A and B are shown apart, each in its own frame.
Chain A
Amino acid sequence: LAKTTQPISMDSYEGQEVNITCSHNNIATNDYITWYQQFPSQGPRFIIQGYKTKVTNEVASLFIPADRKSSTLSLPRVSLSDTAVYYCLVGTGGFKTIFGAGTRLFVKA
């Protein structure tokens, strides 16, 4: 299973774009990248998943460079309610998922 490295914490202000980068140097050919969001005392919530280049949905964008050794989750115009822990996971999804430490995002008014 590919190990991931993310910043421990990030601060932002409402209305700003937030980019959280995840390093996964030993990503395998069949692995894809998935990001989850978790609020206190709740289960993680799926945000976005991608394999290469760029993926966008209604809540976020995921940028993956050609070498796929890192990825960046982009949250446009964050609000206070985006304060949460964000996890980057790498794997096939069909096998067990190992969570790293995640990034604690704190959005200030």
Chain B
Amino acid sequence: GAVVSQHPSWVICKSGTSVKIECRSLDFQATTMFWYRQFPKQSLMLMATSNEGSKATYEQGVEKDKFLINHASLTLSTLTVTSAHPEDSSFYICSARVLSLARTYEQYFGPGTRLTVT
């Protein structure tokens, strides 16, 4: 299946600093990627939809100025958590949309990035 990578896999940063997380589709092109956040023992929460060459679409309640998303190429989307605070500590997961041979869409997920803000 399609492979999606994320970098870094984990990061610790100080409160007030910014952190960038990369999401790459390794063997396919993805015009659409999605960013999720997951807190312990909870389900994935969609943060935003990232479209190559255009602005991201954010879900209600997600601050677009705090979570900057850039989808500059067909294989790379980045999420920057600006002025991070301890409450931003979470597991961030990206996914890429792929059109299957059956002409249906499938999503392939990255391994996730554990962010800890101290």
Seen from chain A, the residues whose Cβ lies within 8 Å of a Cβ on chain B are 32, 34, 36, 41-46, 49, 51, 87, 92-94, 96-102
Contacts and interface: CB of A to CB of B under 8 A. Distances in A.
Tell me whether chain A's interface is mostly helix, strand or loop, or mixed: loop
Nearest to A87: B43
B58 to A, nearest CB: 11
Contacts of B45: 99
B109 A45 contact: yes
Given A92-B105, A93-B107, A94-B97, A100 B43 contact: yes
A49 B102 CA distance: 10
A32 to B, nearest CB: 6
Contacts, number: 59
A-B interface, 7 closest residue pairs, ranked by CB to CB distance from nearest: A93-B105, A43-B109, A94-B105, A99-B44, A99-B43, A44-B109, A43-B93
Given A96-B34, A97-B34, A100-B43, A41 B106 contact: no
Interface stretch (B12-20, B69-77, B78-86, B110-118): B110-118
B106 A43 contact: no
